[in-house]
Amino acid sequence: MGETKPVYTLNARGNIFLEVMAQQFNLSTAQMRTEIQGLREMVVDALALKGLKYEDFKTALTPDQKRREVALVFDTQKIDSSWYGHEVWNRLIPLLDKKSKHSILVTDYSDRGAGQETMFDAMNSAVVFARDVNWKHSSQFYIVYITNVSDATIAHFDEGLRDWEAYVGFADTTFSSVFKLLLSMMAVNVCVKIGNVILQGHEDDVPNDEDCNMCGYPFEENGFVCRSIQSILEGTMLSFKIERPVIPGFEIDTHMSLNAVSEQPLPLDDFTVEVTEARLGYLRTAKAGSMERAGLQNMSAGELAEAIKDKIAGSYIYNMVHVAEYDVTKFNIIIEVPPFAPDGKPTRLLAALKYIPTRKTLELITLF
């Protein structure tokens, strides 16, 4: 087996390319690992043509327990243009910091079977409204989703947009909610912003040494540089996935993510979580603050293992790594622990887990 490089995130949830390839050519998991690693290398080469490194994208592509995510909501009925997205971005782009890194997704708030009552309640409970809204149908709202932000950045967006009548308000989508779940099933990636560079996907028959502003939004006019690579690479390897529970029928996403670094991708539902006494002692000492905030400080090793096990299906895995020197495969996952007080916020913890398919065991490495 060739060298296995780390993969920050892999999108087989909103992109069926890998699943179709595996089925069409009847590829084994060993062959799929080689193919996924090959795609990663192609991404590295394509980014190099733009003066970018794969490592530049880590914070924009992966969730962070210490950072925020935000959904900015706009009422298209207040925009006198059929290209309402352009009008939104024309006001949003000047507010973007040319040093920050984000994945940016968009969607119309379309009802895909949830029902208008659910759509209304979800948005109403999540959004901090800047003004009164005349709700007619969920599809009148256009939403921009931005990752890896701070509270100050959210306030900056809100203040910069508040005087525009089309701006409805914002939702802090860091924590799980019905609103975040709905957005996870409809939002699509527009770009990854790395400093002043805006990276998008372009047509797969266009060489990677060319660049195109596919969405047509006024980035260049505001001092940003537009770069693009083939969509097959951008869509699978450089697309942020909004966190949500693993929905039946979408298990292929976890399967392919594991297959990126392992030839034995197995369903994690069948695994047990192992927390050694030594590891628990370390966490109680070195990660005491995180353990206390989450209410885990008094748990036994077995209780902590069960608590983590219960949360595994609540998100997706990322930062998949195989360390050949020690033959260790590991990944990260964000675990959300409910608040103690009814008016409190949940606690988000990053768990690093060692993947041991021969024993169907996930061994806790750290939790903070």
Instruction: State whether 272 and 135 are in the same domain.
Output: no
With a CB cutoff of 8 Å and minimum separation 6, the contacts of 307 are 296, 299, 337
Instruction: State whether 71 and 220 are in the same domain.
Output: yes
> Looking at residue 113, what is its pLDDT?
92
91 domain-assigned: yes
Instruction: State whether 161 and 117 are in the same domain.
Output: yes
Instruction: State whether 76 and 145 are in the same domain.
Output: yes
239 domain-assigned: no
349 domain-assigned: yes
**Low-confidence spans in the chain with pLDDT less than 50:** none
- Please state, in angstroms and rounded to a whole number, the distance separating the CA atoms of residues 50 and 234: 14
0.85 surpassed by pTM: yes
273 domain-assigned: yes
- Please state, in angstroms and rounded to a whole number, the distance separating the CA atoms of residues 299 and 303: 6
Instruction: State whether 276 and 158 are in the same domain.
Output: no
Instruction: State whether 225 and 306 are in the same domain.
Output: no
> Looking at residue 14, what is its pLDDT?
84
Instruction: State whether 70 and 183 are in the same domain.
Output: yes
- DSSP helix/strand/coil, 86: helix
Phi, psi of 310 (to 5 degrees): -65, -25
Instruction: State whether 175 and 70 are in the same domain.
Output: yes
Instruction: State whether 214 and 92 are in the same domain.
Output: yes
Domain boundaries, position 282: 266-367
> Looking at residue 115, what is its pLDDT?
98
> Looking at residue 124, what is its pLDDT?
98
17 domain-assigned: no
136 domain-assigned: yes
Instruction: State whether 82 and 148 are in the same domain.
Output: yes
Instruction: State whether 156 and 272 are in the same domain.
Output: no
Q: How many domains does the chain have?
A: 2
Sheet with 361-367: strands ordered across: 272-274, 361-367, 347-356, 328-337, 317-323
114 domain-assigned: yes
Instruction: State whether 93 and 184 are in the same domain.
Output: yes
Q: Note whether 216 and 188 are within 8 A (CB).
A: no
20 domain-assigned: no
